Copies of this chain bind each other. A is one copy, B any other.
């Protein structure tokens, strides 16, 4: 089995206009900058981006927003220091925004990957973010019913990968990458090091079954 592809362009080639794309990362860590740049070059537009943040400065998701490729953002924390392109697009009414509590975002993505139809979480009960959602009280505690969140594609960043698609991560770069691999129809991972030998089965964090292609991108941001 060999899921490795030759370059970033080949890895992002299947992404079409209007696709939903999960993008791993939190702050500056675990973001697949190589794949995002390749996606910019590739040209797909009208994208729904699912990610914790909405980019900062002029790189990564911020660049996708700057270039007008994004129609919709689903995230927990769009406003960060330097999130100027998100703010511009948002204020101009050019993007739709869905804000999801961070743990609910992770759990909705996991639920999609795990084949669940939804879950009851206490998070956001009684708040604006639960408005219009089904709720129920169990043993005196309020819960909100949340739906799974699927995507067409996931762009991931990992430290090490093998031809079977197995991935391991570095420090806090793990973040959303493992659940996003599970929840997308087609997950693409850029890895700092592509090993031809299989990873140690004890050290695999994301098993290859969740990953459709792997590409080496040696740059560490």
Residues of A participating in the B interface, judged by any CB pair closer than 8 Å: 107, 111, 114-122, 136, 138, 141, 143, 168-171, 201-203
List the 7 closest pairs (A to B, CB-CB), nearest first: A117-B120, A117-B143, A119-B119, A118-B120, A117-B138, A116-B119, A116-B121
Q: Shortest Cβ distance from A199 into chain B, in angstroms? A: 12
Let me know if B119 and A115 touch, CB within 8 A.
Answer: no
Given the complex, which residues of B lie within 8 Å of A120, measured CB to CB? Answer: 116-119
> In the assembly, what is the distance between CA of A94 and CA of B30, in Å?
54
Distance to closest chain B CB from A97 (angstroms)? 25
Instruction: Determine the residue in chain B with the shortest Cβ distance to A116.
Output: B119
For A116, the chain B residues whose CB sits under 8 A away are: 107, 119-121, 143
B residues within 8 A CB of A201? 171
Bound complex: CA A118 to CA B135 (Å): 12
Q: Give complex CA distance A121, B111 in Å.
A: 10
Q: Which of A117, A171, A201 has the most CB of B within 10 A?
A: A117
* Complex: A169 Cα to B143 Cα, angstroms: 34
A111 to B119, CA, bound (A): 9
Determine how many copies of this chain the complex contains. 2
* B residues near A119, Cβ cutoff 8 Å: 111, 116-120
Min Cβ gap A108→B in Å is: 11
Q: Which residue of B lies closest to A120 (CB)?
A: B117
- How far is B136's CA from A64's CA once the two chains are assembled, in angstroms? 39
Shortest Cβ distance from residue A150 to the other chain B in the assembled complex, whole angstroms: 11
Nearest B residue to A125 by beta-carbon distance? B117
Q: Which residues of the other chain, B, contact A202 by a CB distance below 8 angstroms?
A: 168-171, 203
B107 touches A114 (CB 8 A): yes
Contact B118 A122 (CB under 8 A): no
CA distance in complex: A171, B122 (Å): 35
Residue of B nearest to A203 (CB): B203
Q: In the bound complex, what is the Cα–Cα distance between A111 and B111 (angstroms)?
A: 11
Q: In the bound complex, how far is the Cα of B168 from the Cα of A104, in angstroms?
A: 27
Instruction: Select one of B111, B122, B136 contacting A115, CB under 8 A.
Output: B122
Closest residue to A119 on the B side, CB-wise? B119
Q: How far is the CA of A115 from the CA of B104 in the complex (A)?
A: 11
